[in-house]
Amino acid sequence: MGEVKHLCLVKFKEEVLVDDILQGMTKLVSEMDMVKSFEWGKDVLNQEMLTQGFTHVFSLTFASSEDLTSYMSHERHQEFAGTFMAAIDKVVVVDFPIIVAKPAPPAAPAAA
């Protein structure tokens, strides 16, 4: 099946220190070997009609669905999930095998 993504769209509660959550998440995934990579971002266009109020995206990539399952059921993830869920106003989570319909072009070769 190949790589799998665990994607969360989040609207945080107003009083939450988002930087603290981000630091906690970055620390967690850096220490969890089954997480292949982790990207996040904050919406910049602020078009409420399109974002539905969601402001942050968290995208975890796993080499396999087994690694995703291993992460989701890990004690440390579940601990963090409690902190995370307490900090959010709303969330959407989707988990999906990645279909690369247009691959990124190869990086430019090193100068000769």
* Binding letters toward a copy of itself, positions 67-86, x by CB under 8 A: --------------------
N- to C-terminal Cα separation, the chain: 38
111 binds a copy of itself (CB under 8 A): no
- Beta-carbon contacts of 38 under 8 Å, excluding residues fewer than 6 positions away, are 25, 26, 29, 30, 58, 59, 60, 61
Smallest gap, in angstroms, from Cβ of residue 20 to a copy of itself? 14
Site mask, a copy of itself, residues 4-43, x = CB under 8 A? xx-x-x------------x--xx--xx----xxxxxxxxx
Q: How far is CA 91 from the centre of its chain?
A: 12
Angstrom distance (rounded) from CA 102 to CA 100:
6
Name the residues that contact a copy of itself, by CB under 8 A: 4-5, 7, 9, 22, 25-26, 29-30, 35-45, 47, 50-52, 54-55, 57, 61, 65, 91-105
